Amino acid sequence: MRIISSIKQMQEFCRRQRQKGKVIALVPTMGYLHEGHLSLMEEGRRRADLLIISIFVNPTQFGKGEDYQEYPRDLECDKGLARKVGVDVIFAPETSLMYPSGYQTWVEVTEVTKNLCGASRPGHFSGVTTVVAKLFNISKPHIALFGEKDFQQLVAIKRMVADLNFDIEIVGMPTVREEDGLALSSRNTYLSTQERTAALSLSRSLRRARGFITSGERSAPRIIRAVKAIVGREKLIDIDYIKICDVESLKELRKIDQRAVLALAVRLGKIRLIDNCILEP
Ligand code: AMP
């Protein structure tokens, strides 16, 4: 496994690999790897000859007062996990290389980023799409894998790839959860025992919502009310949003007569958690 931090070196390496006819898969991450990240890598390993992951805590997707400084980092541990799943290259650039002085170019997906996390975290998605576009140009992948856990991010990246004609297949992968339902997230490491217990209400409420759909309920407001009752019962939790949206436009739905996503975001002390599930009528 190679660790590359130079953009130039990475571009040259990937160009040579492409010339040799190798299929390249990229898994962009911010590191502090867990089983969710590893599931993306395993799928990339199955689909490609060369598996590249990036580890870069991208400052431009964090807003003022968010946890950029505190975001957990452990490159040594990440290297061990990446090696185990057969990663060929870790691309881990310095921030000053990715955003040198004078940097001023942004990729913005305008519509699907308005609602949900886009509304609570202004500028977040333009940071995400910009860094992902840069990573695509640097590593020239044929395939890139992203988690459905960050559903709006996945929708925005698919939109960017279609709109800007990136010749890259975007693969969405299901959310990996702890046995008790908690969606894996690097930020979970900062949850206290009580906060972690409260956080279980998220996946519990999603299961409840799916149960409603199975029993024929199609009213979004009624399902949202039920979800709010479960999550809102937790004193430690502040709800940011609970919404049911169309899976492509991410516009809110009142009636669930098409594939929809139930997405929620909460605050637990200083930690922000998101989760979602697909509702199939
Ligand atoms: P992050 O390091 O949080 O930026 O995540 C890197 C990639 O891993 C993104 O595509 C995430 O959607 C994905 N990811 C994060 N958590 C999970 C999870 N629990 N299950 C599946 N994919 C995940």
Work out the percent of the chain whose per-residue pLDDT is above 70: 100
Residue 51 gets which letter from DSSP?
E
Ligand 1 binding pocket mutation candidate from 37, 61, 131, 161 (most atoms within 8 A of CB):
37
Q: In the block, which residue shows the tokens 């004193």?
A: 235
207 CB neighbour count, 10 Å cutoff: 12
CA of 147 to the centre of ligand 1 (A): 5
Q: Express each pLDDT in 88-123 by its tens digit.
A: 999 999 999 999 999 999 999 999 999 999 999 999
Q: Express each pLDDT in 27-66 by its tens digit.
A: 999 999 999 999 999 999 999 999 999 999 999 999 999 9
Q: In terms of C-beta density within 10 A (0-12 exposed, 13-18 middle, 19 or more buried), how is residue 123 classed? A: middle
**How does 126-159 read in b/e, with b if 16+ C-beta sit within 10 Å?**
bbbbbbbbbbbebbbbbbbbbbbbbbbbbbbbbb
Which residues does the annotation mark as catalytic?
Answer: 37
CA distance 184 to 249: 26
Lining ligand 1 with CB less than 6 A are: 29-30, 36-37, 39-40, 146-147, 149-150, 173, 175-176, 183-186
Name which of 201, 270, 276, 214 is nearest 245 in CA terms.
276
Residue whose CA is at the smallest distance from ligand 1 atom 6: 29
One-letter identity of residue 190: Y
Confidence at residue 210, expressed as pLDDT on a 0 to 100 scale: 98
Q: In the block, which residue shows the tokens 């409260």?
A: 198
CA distance 3 to 65: 31
